[in-house]
Amino acid sequence: MAKKENIEIQDHEELVPAHSESDDQANAQAGQSAEQAPSGAGDPKDQLVRLQAERDALFDRLARQQAEFENLRKRSAKEQVDFRDYAVADTVKQLIPIIDNFDLALKAKSNEADLRKGLELIRKQMDELFTKLGVQAVPAKGEPFDPRFHEAIEMVDSSDVKENHVVDELQRGYKLKDRLLRPAMVRVSKHK
């Protein structure tokens, strides 16, 4: 029967979280103070000394815990600032080759058809990068006008397009996953 109780105690001890050496030292100091005088008996001065030692050990432990918490808070705040400052670094690295291609296109002495073909390739690179980053164009032309994603610049009489549908997209809108980055600037149809 004693072996079974011993196993249960060991299992319980594994579930208790580990603590630091400073906690062990504080507990040891409190334990030593308690061993010096038997509980419930003895000189009141000895009890007072023991209680003061326990109090001092607990205050020391509390001060260490507060210092650890403050250091953790400061470290966490610094990591957040660093993350914000350098979060765009990966995206910028992916944009650099595209900027290089623009520079090459501007330096090249070629005819208009070659220049257009080069710009289309650069545009394709941008679209691929946006897809990789989760940026999507907001569908506009021919779509029903949606003030959450479209910014109406003008209402146009049109019999070719249904009423309150986008006739023309003046500037493409973009969203990152579910968040709108910029609404599409559009012209919207109206019927007389």
Q: Which two tokens stand for residue 84?
A: 């914000």
Contact by Cβ (8 Å): 68, 19: no
Query: What's the rounded Cα separation, in Å, for the pair 107 and 171?
Result: 28
For residues 27-52, give the mean pLDDT. 68
Supply the mean pLDDT for the chain: 82
For the segment 173-190, the average pLDDT, to the nearest whole number, is 93
What is the reported pTM? 0.55
More confident residue, 38 or 120: 120
The reported pLDDT for the residue numbered 136 is 93
pLDDT tens digits, 52-102? 999 999 999 999 999 999 999 999 999 998 888 888 788 888 889 999 988
What is the mean pLDDT of the segment spanning 158-185?
91
In the predicted structure, residue 34 carries a pLDDT above the cut 70: no
pLDDT at position 18: 44
> pLDDT-based confidence at 27, cuts 50/70/90?
low
CA 135/CA 129 separation, integer angstroms:
8
Task: Cite the beta strand spans of the chain per DSSP E.
Answer: 135-137, 150-157, 166-171, 174-176, 179-182, 184-190
pLDDT exceeds cutoff 60 at 16: no
Both tokens of residue 83?
């993350």
